[in-house]
Amino acid sequence: MSIPVAPIGRIIKEAGAERVSEDAKKELNAYVVAQAETIAKEAIKYAAMAKRKTVKADDIELAIKNL
């Protein structure tokens, strides 16, 4: 799974960078995807504990707080 690299580049530029290398975009992309997967897995556990198949925003928020 991956997030398109262009939006990652825009995020870095919006943070103040004048120019961004492709390697920098790819590195941040890999980190963001890994963190998102970790959060998603934790949120799925909270949804399951609540006997739901649907992951809700509250599950995501709880997962972020508890990681």
What mean pLDDT comes out for the span 16-27?
97
Side chain identity, residue 24: A
Which residue intervals of the chain are DSSP H helices?
A: 5-14, 22-49, 57-66
pLDDT at 45: 98
**Mind listing the pLDDT tens digit for each residue in 22-67?**
999 999 999 999 999 999 999 999 999 999 999 999 999 999 999 9
Q: What are the residue ranges spanned by the domains of the chain? A: 5-66
pLDDT at 64: 98
pLDDT at 23: 97
Side chain identity, residue 37: E
pLDDT at 1: 72
Euclidean distance between CA atoms 21 and 9, whole angstroms: 8
Residues with Cβ within 8 Å of residue 3, at least 6 apart in sequence: 29, 32, 33
Of the options 3.30.420.40, 3.40.50.1110, 3.20.20.140, 1.10.20.10, the CATH number for the domain spanning 5-66: 1.10.20.10
Q: pTM for this one?
A: 0.87
Do 33 and 1 form a contact (C-beta atoms < 8 A)? yes
Q: For residue 53, what is the DSSP state?
A: S
